[in-house]
Structure 1
Amino acid sequence: MVAPTVSAEINEWEAKDQLRVKRKKVGEEDLLNVFLIVVATNDQAVNKFVKQHIKNDQLVNMASSFSDGNIQIPAQFSRGRLSLAISTDGASPLLTKRIKEDLSSNYDESYTQYTQFLYECRVLIHRLNVSKSRKHELLTEIINDQYRLSLVKQREFLQQIEKYK
């Protein structure tokens, strides 16, 4: 990352070695041999500079002007094995943010454990010596919310699966 100043959150990421920060204004040398460039500044001079110095083989996301870049980065969040990405294709980042917040509250933290349960069940069910239709029935049964909301129901289902072995 290249920036004269950064937020507290980015300072934390740097402290955790999650990214490196060059604290300076962006220069042409910073754009060489870089595959992905994200320009997230409200400094029009920086935006113009980057736009003038990018190469055809670089992926560029211009946060302030989606049409000046050649890629868009969707908003995303995860709950365990559930990953959701949202985009309005540059039409409205504010709507994207609102939809992400809505989905994030609908798909709460309970999905973290639940998707792990679903994964483990899927692996076990596919190993069973039963018909494809019975496997489908079992997989369909566990996408009912009662399994997401109850660890007891999950354990009971796993015990039911054991009977097929």
Structure 2
Amino acid sequence: MSINYPIMLQLAGKKVVVIGGGRVAERKVRGLLGTEARVAVISPEATGEIQTLAQEGKIVWEKKFFSAEDLKGAALIFAATDDKDINRLVKSSAEKHQLVTIADDPDRSDFHLPAHIQRGRLSIAVSTGGASPTLAKNLKAQLDQQFDERYEEYLEFLFKARQWILQDVEDPALKRKLLSVIVSEDLLNSQNRSEDFRRLYEELKP
């Protein structure tokens, strides 16, 4: 049995094509919002949300039936219609280097989307490799409670603190200590992380 290779993709500026305009396609489009990908939906009909997103300029909706030309230049392709023959045609029309996921045929897909939690810079993905989407959903619900909204601001603090430590702290030993101590329950729950970090720095520096 082969295993999937987990990866986080930077899609900013890249073309992503979603074939289909129904609820499944809508979910795929919704998940792509915020990535800064150039999202194109190909379908003669579309849900109200897809139409609204197109009107707002957040995506492009091409009101047409699928043709192989629609895949030109696409980095990722979502075959998300309710017609198995069209979905398979999308897959067969893609170039070898293009990655395709088929909504109703995970075995023929090049990738699949895991259950996903986003807290600012924190991204947590859960996959059971197709064994049990229900278990993935349950695990996501547990993680959603464990990693609550506090983590969004905390990750921003960690990012800025790490940048400062790497750039401005010259002592290698102090640098290692600071990078270690900023990852703590105390700072996660702190009401004033900047002040607590400054105090830690003063306590640790030679």
Shorter-normalised TM range: 0.7 to 0.9
Between Structure 1 and Structure 2, whose CA radius of gyration is higher? 1
Query: 1:125: Cα distance to partner?
Result: 2.6
1:79/1:111 contact within 8 Å kept = yes
The answer on 1:161 being equivalent to 2:201 is yes
For residues 95 and 3 of structure 1, the distance between their equivalents in structure 2, rounded to whole angstroms, comes to: 32
1:79/1:112 contact within 8 Å kept = yes
User: What is residue 77 of structure 1 aligned with on the other side?
Assistant: 117
State the TM-score, normalizing by the size of structure 2.
Answer: 0.65
For residues 39 and 113 of structure 1, the distance between their equivalents in structure 2, rounded to whole angstroms, comes to: 36
1:31–1:160 distance in 2 versus 1, CA, 3 Å: closer
Runs (4+) off by over 4 Å: 162-165
1:76–1:130 distance in 2 versus 1, CA, 3 Å: same
Alignment of 1:143-158 (within 5 A): 143-158=183-198
SS of the aligned residue for 1:151 comes to coil
Bigger mean CA offset, 150-159 vs 111-120: 150-159
Alignment of 1:1-165 (within 5 A): 1-126=41-166, 127-132=168-173, 134-161=174-201, 164=205
* CA-based RMSD: 2.7
Query: 1:154: Cα distance to partner?
Result: 4.2
Aligned residues: 164
For residues 136 and 96 of structure 2, the distance between their equivalents in structure 1, rounded to whole angstroms, comes to: 28
State the TM-score, normalizing by the size of structure 1.
Answer: 0.79
2:84/2:104 contact within 8 Å kept = no
For residues 128 and 54 of structure 1, the distance between their equivalents in structure 2, rounded to whole angstroms, comes to: 50
For residues 131 and 142 of structure 2, the distance between their equivalents in structure 1, rounded to whole angstroms, comes to: 18
As a proportion of its length, which structure holds more helix? Answer: 1
Identity rate, percent: 32
1:23–1:148 distance in 2 versus 1, CA, 3 Å: same
1:55–1:153 distance in 2 versus 1, CA, 3 Å: closer
For residues 12 and 158 of structure 1, the distance between their equivalents in structure 2, rounded to whole angstroms, comes to: 47
